[in-house]
Structure 1
Amino acid sequence: MARFPKIDLQEASRLTRAGRLDEAMTLLKRVLPGGAPDSAAPDLRGAAKDLLRGLADKLGGLEGLAGPQGPAVFTPPNARYEARVHESAAGSRTYKLYIPSGYRGQAVPLLVMLHGCSQSPDDFAVGARMNELAEEQTFLVAYPAQTRSANMSKCWNWFNEADQKRGRGEPSLIAGIARDVIAAFRVDPARVYVAGLSAGGAAAAVLGAAYPELFRAIGVHSGLACGAARDMPSAFSAMKNGAAAPISGARVPTIVFHGEDDKTVHPVNGDHVIAQSTAGAELRARSERGISPGGMRYTRTIYTDRSGRPAHEHWRLHGAGHAWSGGSPRGSFTDPRGPDASREMMRFFGELSA
C-alpha cells in the first residue's frame, strides 16, 4: 500500500476557514496522487476543495466553529454562508458571514449578530431567522463566535471591565470583524448595526458605547446596559435584580426587547438599557399596546426627537421569558409566539437611515 506524506490537517482546516483555499490546497497536494500538480484535472481539484471544506467543519481546527453547530442553516442558491477568521493584536475569533443572493456589489447594510450563552452562530442564525430576512431585504449578517477558552459557557464577557472598553478585549475583536467585512464587501458605513441576545445583547450595548462611530444603532434583546457589572459577582447580581449603569460617553439609537417573565435576566434591565441610551436627550415618548399573531401581548414605547424622527424603542413582552421573540423553534432560546424581533429591529434600523 502506498504511503503518503503526513499532512497538517489542523492547518489545512484553519486556512480553509479563512477562505485561503489555494494555500490549503498546497498542503493537500502532498497526499493526492502525483502530488496533484496545478495541471490536475478540475474534478480532482474540486473534490480536494470539497474535502477541505469538510475538514474545516469536522476537525475542530479553530474553536468556536468546530464540531456540531446545531440545526443546519439553509442557504438558497447564489447566496453564501461562509466561515471566516478575524485576527488582531487582541486575539482571534471565528465568525460566519451570510451574503444574500441579491448582493451584486452594491452598497448594503451590515448587521453583526451576537449569540447568547451556550449558543453558536449557526444556532443563533436559525433561531433568529435573520438570514431569511437578509435574503429578503439584501443585507450582510456577521455572526461572531465566542470560544470556550474565553468563557466556558460561550458567553460574551460583557461583565469584565477589560471587555467594556474601546480598543481592548472582545469589543476590539467584534469591531474588527465588522471592519473586516466592510473592507471585503461594499458596505454602507452609515448602515452598520449590532444586535444580540442575553450576553450578546449586553455585549451589543458595550459595542454601541465603545464604537459609536462604527455602529449606527444597536439591538438589545434580553440583555443589560453597558457597565451594569464589573466582575462575575456583580454580573449575577445585575441579572437577578437589575443594575442601573453609569451614563457616560456617546449614545446611539437603541431598540430593546425584553420578556416580563424573564427569570434569567431581570426585565428591569431593559429599562436600564433605555435609560442609558436616552439620558440627556430631549425626546417624546408614546406607548402603544398590541398582540402578536402568535397571541403574545406587548407594550411598545417609541421615543422620537424634536423633528419626530425615531430615536429609540422599547418592547415589553408580556408573558415572555428569556428567549428571542418571534424566533424559529429550530433554534435555542426562542419564543415563536412573540412579535418578530428580527424584522422589527431591521425596520427600526432602516427608519434611522430613511
Structure 2
Amino acid sequence: MPERLAENPALVVVLHGCTQSAGGYDRGSGWSQLADEHGFLLLFPEQQRANNPNLCFNWFSATDNARGRGEALSIRQMIMTMVDAYDVDPSRIFVTGLSAGGAMTSVMLASYPELFAGGAIIAGLPHGSASNTPQAFEAMRGAGAYNARELGDRVRRASDHEGPWPSISIWHGSADATVSSTNADAILAQWLSVHDIEPTPNVSEKIAGHRHRVWHDGTGRALIEDYRISNMGHGTPLATTGPEACGAVMPHMLEAGISSTRRIAASWGLLEAEKERTSAQSVRKNPEAASHVPAPRIGRLEPLPSEPARPILSGKAGVEKIIHDALRAAGLMR
C-alpha cells in the first residue's frame, strides 16, 4: 500500500502464477513501484498449498471458476473489503495475472464483469477452457479448434451482465512452450465476440520489436489490446533498464525490452492521472492506519475443506510429470 493514496483511489488486483508467491510476483513485476509513485491500491490474493500444492489458482476447477463459487468468490470478497475500507472508486477496479493467474483473470472478468473496468491476461487462457485437470493440460497445449461465437458465449453465460464490458489487454510470448500462444488467439476471439467488434484492428504496429494491435469502440476508446512478445518464453515481459524500467528479472519474469506492468497501468489511466489525484496525506477511513505500509495488501485464500488439493502445472519443467501423476492418481492414466 503506498504511503500517499489518491482520494477515491483505483484498485489493481494482481494474481501470481504457479509456484510463485504474492510478494515474489510483486517484486518481479514492479507493481508496488508504480503504486508508490502514483497512489493507487494493490491487492495480491495469494494461493495456499492446502488448496493447490503448486500454488496455482484453480482456474480449471468447476468449484472455483464460476460466479459465487470457491476461489472466484473469495477474490471478489477480498476486493469488496478493499473497496469498503479505502473508499475505492468502483469504476476503477482492474485485474491482471500471469499463467494460472492469467487464466484466473479470465475467470474473474467473465464471472464478475460488472466489477472490473479492465483486465490484463499474461500468458493465460480464455474463460471456459477447462473444468478438470485433463482438460487444463489439453488447453495449455492449445489442442483443438475454437469457435469465436462459442468462446464469447462462455463469457456471456457466466453472469447476467449485459454490458458494458471490461477492456482487455492480452500479452503472450511467441516462444511460450508452457501455455501455447494459440490461447492468446482464443482470448482475443472471445473478447472480440463479447465486445461485438470486427476482427480487423484499428492500430497495428511494432513496439520495441513486438507486435501491438488495438481495437477501438465508436468513440475511439481502446477496448482490446494485443501484445505478442517476439522470442519470449513463458512469463511476464519486463523492461528493467531505460525509461520504462520496472520490476526485476527472476523465474518467469523475463527481460523483453518492454514493460507490461507500466504499459498496462498506463492503458488504465493510472499513471499521471493518479499522480495528480494523490493528496499530501494518505486518505484512509481508519486514521490509525496512517503509518506507511510499504508492502501491498496480500489476501490469502483460505483452504476449502470440502475440496481436496488439486495439482496443476507449475511451468515448463515438470509440467507433464505433475499432470501425469494427477491423472494416474485419479485412475485416468496408467
TM-score normalized by the length of structure 1: 0.67
Q: Which residue of structure 2 aligns with residue 273 of structure 1?
A: 187
Task: Letter of the 2:266 partner, please give it.
Answer: R
Q: What is the match of residue 235 of structure 1?
A: 136
Matched, 1:322 2:234: yes
Q: 1:235, CA displacement in angstroms?
A: 0.4
Q: Partner of 2:55 in structure 1?
A: 154
The reply to whether residue 143 of structure 1 matches residue 44 of structure 2 is yes
**Cα distance, 1:132 vs. partner?**
0.4
CA distance in 2 between partners of 1:117 and 1:206 (Å): 16
Structure 2: gaps of 5 or more residues: 240-246, 274-334
Distance 1:169 1:229, change over 3 A: same
- Report the alpha carbon displacement of residue 268 of structure 1 after superposing the two structures with TM: 0.8
* Whole-Å separation in 2 of the counterparts to 1:329 and 1:309: 31
Q: Which residue of 2 aligns with 1:282?
A: 197
Aligned to 2:175: 261
Q: Which amino acid aligns with 2:211?
A: T
Answer with 172-181 or 272-281: which moved more.
272-281
The question of whether the paired residues in 2 share the 8 Å contact of 1:242 and 1:269 is answered with no
What's the CA shift for 1:233? 0.4
Partners in 1 of 2:125 and 2:42 — Cα distance?
A: 22
- CA contact 2:169–2:264 (8 Å) conserved in 1: yes
Aligned equivalents of 2:85, 2:39: Cα separation in 1: 16
Q: Which one-letter code corresponds to 2:46 in the other structure?
A: A
Task: Say whether residues 1:100 and 2:2 are aligned partners.
Answer: yes
Find the counterpart in structure 2 of residue 26 from structure 1: none
CA contact (8 A) 2:249 2:255 kept: no
Cα 1:348–1:291 change in 2 (3 A) is: closer
Q: Is the 8 A contact 2:210 2:227 kept in 1?
A: yes
Report how many aligned residue pairs link the two structures. Answer: 249
Separation in structure 1 between the aligned mates of residue 42 and residue 229 of structure 2, nearest angstrom: 25
Q: Deviations over 1:259-282 (max 9, x none)?
A: 010000000101111111120513
Query: Cα 1:158–1:338, aligned 2, differ >3 Å: closer, same or farther?
Result: farther
1:194-214 alpha-carbon deviations (Å, 9 max, x no partner): 100000000001000000111
> Could you tell me how far 1:287 is from its partner in structure 2?
4.1
Contact residue 287 and residue 299 of structure 1 kept, 8 A: no
CA RMSD of aligned residues (A): 1.8
Structure 1 unaligned regions, length at least 5: 1-98
* Shift, 1:252, TM fit: 2.2
Asked if residue 224 in structure 1 is aligned to residue 125 in structure 2, the reply is: yes
Partner of 2:292: none
Distance 2:104 2:188 in 1: 15
One of 210, 213, 237 as aligned partner of 2:111:
210
Whose Rg is larger?
1
Q: How does 1:156-171 map to 2 (within 5 A)?
A: 156-171=57-72
> What corresponds to 1:77 in structure 2?
none
Identity %: 32
Q: Is the 8 A contact 1:252 1:277 kept in 2?
A: no
| 2:201 alignment partner AA | A
Work out which structure has the larger RCO, using CA pairs closer than 8 Å and 6 or more positions apart in sequence.
2
- Verify the 8 A CA contact 1:317 1:338 in the aligned structure 2: no
> What is the rounded CA distance, in whole Å, between the counterparts of 2:74 and 2:68 in structure 1?
9
Change (3 A) 1:330 1:109: same
Q: Cα offset for 1:286?
A: 3.1
Residue 214 of structure 2 is aligned to residue 302 of structure 1: yes
